[in-house]
Amino acid sequence: MERLIESMLLGLRWMLLPLYLALFLAVLTIYVMVGRELFDLAAHLGSVSDSDLVLLLCAVLDLVLVANLLVMVAVSSYESFISRIAVETLDRPEWLGKLDLSNVKVKVAVGVTMISMIHLLRAFMAGEPGQRLMVLAGVHLVFVASALGVALVDRTQRLPGAH
């Protein structure tokens, strides 16, 4: 009976696979959104102002950062919970197999902080009202503090003798 329960519990990890596939679909959606932004830029290339170009590039950068986070979380989670990815090709990423959940937490915290920074910059450049900018700046500072906290906890856990 014990082995059956342990087998079922271990088999639960495969229920995570559809969630990782959803992350894959989210990355495809980001492709469409970036394509739409670039198509819009190409259509108005002659009349786009410098600030509009920067705002558009910030939007694209924001989407790329989100896509990177999705791939990083999907790959590291798959390797941590389901199965190692054993691809032996020339284009195998150097980091494959080296990302543990602790590293990913820090990278996600920093990524979210960068995304928040881009949103704050876009709001500033778009001329958002001062009160909204203050709220966005406050939220960004919370993300900065959270990222620092996550990094500090990660660092203390990696010290010799830490559990």
The model's pLDDT over 89-123, given as tens digits with 9 standing for 90+, comes to 667 777 766 777 778 888 889 999 999 999 899 89
pLDDT of residue 67: 93
Q: How far apart are CA 44 and CA 40, in angstroms?
A: 6
Collapsed DSSP state (helix, strand, coil) of residue 138: helix
pLDDT of residue 90: 65
The model's pLDDT over 25-75, given as tens digits with 9 standing for 90+, comes to 999 999 999 999 899 888 888 888 888 888 888 889 989 999 999 988 888
What are the residue boundaries of the structural domains of the chain, listed by start? 17-158
Q: How far apart are CA 63 and CA 72, in angstroms?
A: 14
